Copies of this chain bind each other. A is one copy, B any other.
Amino acid sequence: MGISERKTRERGERERRIVVAARTIAERDGWASVTIRRLAEEIEYSQPVLYSHFENRDQIVGAVALEGFGELAAMLRAAIRPSSTSKERVEDVAAAYLDFAFARPAMYEAMFVLPTGLRFARSDTPAQLRDGFGAMATVIAPFSKDVDTATETFWAALHGLAELERHGRIRPAFRAQRITLIMQMVSGQL
């Protein structure tokens, strides 16, 4: 019988509608506007239904963030052109990272600022969470012996640039110069 299959499929579709609604509202009106009541209205079910899909609001944010990690990883990988030099690749990935952060501030906030209940560096950590790191590690590898540490530092530098600029604490006009300085950290081999 395909009845239970249909049910799990419909349940999955409803869950996706929740995540899509959360993302849409967050990107338009900010995360403060993503309330359980508003999401319930959007999917045309009562509020408790949401709690049969997610433990709490944070986990809904987490589901959106997980999508974001997948998309960020894809964007970083797409920025790596075969024809480029090793140095250019690092620069392109850095630029792609910041482009992502500034083009999708709400998504970036979900991924890196808001509580999400996502678990990193664990055996059950989803592929999306590792993949962006992997993309960065790919371009960092030619410059470093300890790729993991160098990638962590590269990532941290980019994250700091994104956050400080997003909060208006460093000058947007000098973004390119700052990326150049980051390049210096990477290309001085270690």
Contact = CB atoms under 8 A, between A and B. Distances in A.
User: Secondary structure of the A side of the interface?
Assistant: helix
Contacts of A158: 160
Contact of A188 (B159, B160, B188): B188
Nearest to A174: B149
Nearest to A189: B184
A184 B149 CA distance: 14
Nearest to A179: B153
A163 B163 contact: yes
Contacts of A169: 120-121
Interface in A121-171: 121, 146, 148-150, 152-153, 155-161, 163-164, 167-171
B185 A190 contact: no
A145 B113 CA distance: 33
Contacts of A113: 113
A178 interface: yes
Nearest to A156: B160
A177 interface: yes
B152 A156 contact: no
A74 B164 CA distance: 21
Contacts of A190: 180-181, 184
Contact of A146 (B152, B168, B177): B177
A74 B25 CA distance: 42
A150 B181 CA distance: 7
Given A149-B178, A152-B170, A157-B185, 4 more contacts: A120-B167, A121-B169, A152-B164, A157-B182
